Chains A and B, each alone.
Chain A
Amino acid sequence: MGKVKTLTLIKKGAEADLYLAEWHNKKVMIKKRLAKKYRPSKLDRQIRVYRTVHEPQLMHEAKKAGVPTPTIYMVDLKKAMIIMEFIDGKQIKQLLSEVSANKREKLCAKIGQLVGKLHSHGIVHGDLTTSNMILNSEKKIFFVDFGLGEKTKELEARGVDLHLMKRALQSTHFSFADKCFKAVIKGYSGIVGDDVAKNVLDKVKEIERRGRYVAERKGESK
């Protein structure tokens, strides 16, 4: 491993710390999963190693599916650390509240397409929030943070994925969440086809009906 220079902490997340650094004359992002002392060390190690191994694999797979993700440069299991390409851009979370309604729906439809590509390729992201999507200067949307992702084609996993997306929109962008989610579905259907999209959306409804998401259980449209 080469020398890492100019480390600056850019985000202290719940699960990992993100550093901006220079490595072999390249601007890189370093993701480091720190030990969590609240849980037993054996469980802690298992979780961190598992996610550090799986995240780069899924990001690589996502690329093959046509979904932009940062290129992985190096993985250090001992330190539970990943060195990857730095994506210079803006979080979709920020953008959604800044742009016009028209632009917003276009962005959401594009996100829906990318989710559709992931699912068609047998990947679920596991944490589809708007802070895990970055628009770069070439107008490409990158997906990051695959730590909770999975390789699966199960309907249940896809349903949960879209359900999480919907929930993330509702809790962070509640004033235009419904329109955004509709646009996401439109983009998603365009990739996976109307039949598959319908099955997944039925699953989302079922997940919501399992007792915790009453509006759906009461048969309301919201």
Chain B
Amino acid sequence: MVKKSYCLGIESTADDFSVGISTFDGKILANVISAYIPEKGGIHPREAARHHAEVADKVLEEAIKKAKIKLKEISAIAFSQGPGLGPCLRTGATVARALAAYLGVPLVGVNHCVAHIEIGKLKTGAIDPLTLYVSGGNTIVSAFDSGRYRVFGETLDIAVGNCLDVFAREAGLSQKRGLPFGAIVEKLAAKGKKLIPLPYTVKGMDISLSGLLTAAVNLLKQGTYKLEDLCYSLQETAFSMITEVTERALAHTEKKEVLLTGGVAANKRLQSMIKYIAKEHGAKFCVVPSEFAVDNGAMIAWTGVLAYQHGIVTPIEESFVKLRWRLEEAAVPWVK
């Protein structure tokens, strides 16, 4: 029997600490995620990093147990090198360096945004998609061209996940384990009926969401509208803007697949909108399964496999984290 090769991936860019294990032929054996949920307010980078350091050993142990492999069987350690929050990234990188040194295996630094695209491709079978990557930290429309994942459109200010989260917090809602703010807003929005006029800001293939958020929060504080209607209007307006620029990029690039990935990809309303434009342009609609939509270690492990197989290794002295590592700056030699 041929000896199997495994890659272990560590994800820690923001509020989630996760360890995933992938075989070299793309079978995900484990994907354990521990979310940091602040008692009040948004993600405090240092508090999140403290959470990551506290749970790291338990998450690691659970992942190894789930994958039913031994630690020494691992051939490479991949980690999320950026973009993300400094303290959180550094915690994950420290764990990764220690593990790689202990096991005597190569370290592979992975771009977090590339990983979201690669796991989407792996799980949906998409080959050369136009990708809409939507999460708490990113809102990017991208497609592969001339060696890189090029950015065709993106938010000029805040990410759509951030926009929904802040609104939910301002409305006094609180998230629970397994029920993030986005899901709560989605539920409330489903009960809304009245479309309240809000700023709709599309600039070329880019969008701006900060004005929309401010307007929605101001209306919320006035107290004249029902929360359900506000959630509905906020979601419809934000998603319409995102869908419009995605359609622009689709018409421009003429890709035959549309991939929806990232944490906000779990939203059913957004899925239905993107599915509609994909159909309009004769493209196949693909959406990443929800387990792999949120930040997860499996996507880092799998992207680590792709990078490692194409000769990318990250020496310890070059393994510093890159807080603002853009998608199109990352080399992706495995994509043709």
Instruction: Give residues in A with beta carbon < 8 Å to B.
Output: 12-15, 36-40, 42-43, 46-47, 126-129, 131, 148, 160, 164, 167-168, 171, 174, 207, 210-215, 217-218
Q: Which of B11-19, B170-178, B247-255, B305-313 contacts A (4 or more CB under 8 A)?
A: B247-255
Check if B240 sits within 8 Å of A39, measured CB to CB.
yes
B-chain residues with CB within 8 Å of residue A43 when the two chains form the complex: 195, 200, 236-237, 240
Are the C-beta atoms of A38 and B277 separated by less than 8 Å?
A: yes
Instruction: Give chain B interface residues in 105-142, CB to chain A under 8 Å.
Output: none
Asked if residues B204 and A15 are in contact (CB atoms below 8 Å), the reply is: no
Q: Taking the nearest CB of chain B, how far is it from the CB of A197, in angstroms?
A: 20
Q: Given A39-B273, A214-B325, A214-B326, verify A15-B248 contact (CB < 8 Å).
A: yes
Nearest-Cβ distance from residue B132 to partner chain A, whole angstroms:
13
Which B residues lie within 8 Å of A174 (CB)?
A: 146, 150
The 4 closest A-B pairs by CB, nearest first: A214-B324, A39-B240, A14-B251, A14-B248
Chain B residues, CB < 8 A from A171: 145, 150-152
A to B CB contacts below 8 Å, 13 in the list: A14-B248, A15-B247, A38-B273, A39-B239, A39-B240, A40-B240, A43-B236, A46-B197, A168-B204, A210-B157, A212-B156, A214-B325, A215-B329
Contacts A42-B195, A171-B145, A171-B152 known; list 17 others, CB within 8 Å. A12-B251, A13-B251, A14-B248, A15-B244, A37-B276, A38-B243, A38-B272, A127-B203, A128-B204, A148-B202, A164-B204, A167-B206, A212-B156, A214-B325, A214-B326, A215-B329, A217-B324
- Give residues in B with beta carbon < 8 Å to A: 83, 145-146, 150-152, 154-157, 195, 197, 200, 202-206, 236-237, 239-240, 243-244, 247-248, 250-252, 272-273, 276-277, 324-326, 329
Question: Which of B156, B195, B197, B251 has the most chain A CB within a 10 Å cutoff?
Answer: B156
Report the Cα distance A181→B146, complex, angstroms: 20
Which partner residue on chain B sits nearest A41 by CB separation? B195
What's the Cα separation between A168 and B324 when bound, in Å?
21
Closest partner residue, chain A, to B82 (CB atom): A214
Bound state CA distance, A207 and B150, in angstroms? 19
- Known contacts A12-B251, A14-B251, A43-B236; decide if A38 and B276 are in contact (CB<8 Å): yes
A148 & B204 in contact (Cβ 8 Å cutoff): yes
Tell me which of B206, B243, B251 contacts A164 (CB under 8 A): B206
Q: Known interface pairs A14-B247, A160-B203, A174-B146. Does A40 touch B236 (Cβ–Cβ under 8 Å)?
A: yes
**Residue of B with least CB distance to A214:** B324
Point out the residue from B156, B252, B276 that lies within 8 Å of A207, measured CB to CB. B156
Complex contacts, A39 vs chain B, CB 8 Å = 236, 239-240, 243, 273
